[in-house]
Amino acid sequence: MRTLLKLCCGVGALALASCASTDVAPIETGASPDVTTDEAGLWQQMDKYEQALRTSALLERDPALNAYVRGIVCDVAGTDYCEDLRIYVVNRPYFNATMAPNGLMEVWTGLLLRAENEAQLAFVLGHEFTHYKNRHSLKNWRKAKNAANASLLVSIGAAAAGAGGASELGSLLALSALYGYGRDLEREADMEGFAYVTAAGYDGSQAAVLWQNLVAEVQASQSKRKKRRFARSSIFSSHPLTKERIATLQGLAADLSPGKRNEQDYIGATAPFLAQWLDDDLVRRDFGENLFLINKLIERGDMLGTLFYAKAEALRLRRGEGDMVKAEAAYLKATKFSDAPAKAWRALGDALRRKGDTSGAITAYQIYLELNPAAVDRLVVENFIKTHALEG
């Protein structure tokens, strides 16, 4: 027992002596950390991650899209800081962007699919840039280190006092403090990010709109658990409650005159990827959210061939009561628009064939092969047409 107490003091003294400061100044432009610091270690690990990311199959390499996103980052972060940032568009169908301490920023295509205009995207980019500028990764790391040491002290102290169970409490308290700290950093990123975005002339009101859209999407989710988790906060939440964020952002925007949204530029820049991103979004298999998103984009009124095809696919895959009938109608609708993919005709053919409309199916298949003469399934489709045309 006495040994444990002594140990507690010994480790305590050393751990506290090495308690890392989370009070760090914002990073300067062009700066990189001294090689002997913990920050250099973080950078080194992220450099390694970045090297792997550069060969990743998930990377979207389209030069035009990358230049477009980078342009908005530079607009928000300013040209000096922009030179320190490397931005990667990553094909992941989730609403997210990430920022690493070494200047690596990931923008996920799930975010690009959901943002409605430049102002909304710019807000997220400003938020991420704040994480970089204010060195939030370093602060978080140091906080985690201090919390782990503190938790260790509580555990040894508890063991010395003969209260083993209290050691669990020690880790729990340390962990919740850590998450609380993380939420404070997120609030800071929201506030500063908002300031950068509005200073660059973007419409600040769009920041809250982005979150409101996300709330509506989650409300449409088919997962009760997901809805519950989203609406409730816990001491282990990594981000502040979305309701709180919306209220804060609306408050910030209230006194400001509206700025630019650049909606048409945004739609133009993302249009070539819409079909792919919708396809990827279906991989999430949350048909409530998938359909919510598609219907919202349909309201916009263009690329309807692409969108109705995606809607039909979601319905077909959901396979709920009456979904096949709705899917067939959506395939048919998609084929009325010039941007419908060739495979919409193929899918329409399949749907008609399934309900016994062979001649309708043959017509759809023929158009499919005309539009896509190099189709990989050409022989199969031709064989169907030949066999059933003879029967007819």
Partner 1 sequence: MSFLSFRACCAALLLAFLSACVSTQTVSTTNDFDAIRADAVVLLMEPDVQLSLLGASGMREVRADWTQTGKANVLAEIEKYLGADGHQLVEHVLNPENPREHQLIKLHEAVGTTLLYHRIFRQPLPSKKDKNDWSLGPGVQTLVGETQADYALFLYARGAYATAGRQVLAIGLALAGGGGVGTGDQQAFASLVDLKTGDIVWFNVATTGQGTDMRKPEGSTKLVKAILKGFPLSEGGK
List interacting residues with partner 1 (CB under 8 A): 3-4, 6-7, 10-11, 14-15, 18, 35-38, 40-45, 51-52, 54-55, 141, 144-145, 148-149, 151-152, 156
Residue type, 341: P
Nearest distance from residue 152's CB to partner 1, in Å?
5
Nearest distance from residue 40's CB to partner 1, in Å?
4
Considering the complex, state which of residue 36 and residue 79 has its C-beta at the smaller distance from partner 1: 36
Helix (DSSP H) and strand (DSSP E) numbers for the chain:
19, 4
Beta bridge partners of 106: 88, 98
Nearest distance from residue 53's CB to partner 1, in Å?
10
Considering the complex, state which of residue 40 and residue 291 has its C-beta at the smaller distance from partner 1: 40
Considering the complex, state which of residue 11 and residue 342 has its C-beta at the smaller distance from partner 1: 11
Calculate helix-pair angle for 166-199, 242-254, nearest 10 degrees: 30
Q: What is the DSSP string of 323-368?
A: HHHHHHHHHHHHTTSTT--HHHHHHHHHHHHHTT-HHHHHHHHHHH
Considering the complex, state which of residue 165 and residue 322 has its C-beta at the smaller distance from partner 1: 165
User: CA 119 to CA 340: how far, in whole Å?
Assistant: 29
Beta bridge partners of 99: 105
Considering the complex, state which of residue 1 and residue 390 has its C-beta at the smaller distance from partner 1: 1
Nearest distance from residue 136's CB to partner 1, in Å?
17
Tokens of 366: 């023929």
User: CA 126 to CA 134: how far, in whole Å?
Assistant: 12
Nearest distance from residue 272's CB to partner 1, in Å?
25
Considering the complex, state which of residue 38 and residue 83 has its C-beta at the smaller distance from partner 1: 38
Nearest distance from residue 389's CB to partner 1, in Å?
49
Q: Which residue has the tokens 């992941």?
A: 92
User: CA 192 to CA 198: how far, in whole Å?
Assistant: 10
